[in-house]
Amino acid sequence: MDYRISNRLSCILEGDKMFDPQRICQILEKELEPIIVNFLELDGQVKVRYKKDNLQNIFFIEFAAQRIKPIGYIPY
């Protein structure tokens, strides 16, 4: 399994002393889009929003898809 996304986010969260939630949202959008496109035909872009609730960091991932791509199907 590829843990590059997790490693990059950990570096940002641990190393970025000037925590910027918008920056993390932008990074997540760019990292998640190629993964989502493998399974869905997107109708627009991936949007990530951030909310702080007491001590919890909550991220919302939003996107619209025209269709779900078939999994395990090889067209001929």
Extents of the domains making up the chain: 4-68
| pTM score, whole prediction | 0.68
At 35 the pLDDT is 93
Any idea what DSSP says for residue 38? T
Burial (0-12, 13-18, 19+ Cβ within 10 Å), 28 = buried
Q: Compute the average pLDDT of residues 35-64.
A: 93
Instruction: Please check whether residue 62 is in contact with residue 46, taking contact to mean a CB–CB distance below 8 angstroms.
Output: yes
Instruction: Tell me how far apart the alpha carbons of residues 9 and 12 are, in angstroms, rounded to a whole number.
Output: 5
Any idea which residue has 């493998």 for tokens?
38
Question: Higher-confidence residue: 11 or 37?
Answer: 37
Confidence of residue 1 (pLDDT cuts 50, 70, 90): very low
Residue 23 one-letter amino acid:
R
pLDDT band of residue 59 (cuts 50, 70, 90) is very high
Residue 3 has pLDDT above 70, yes or no: no
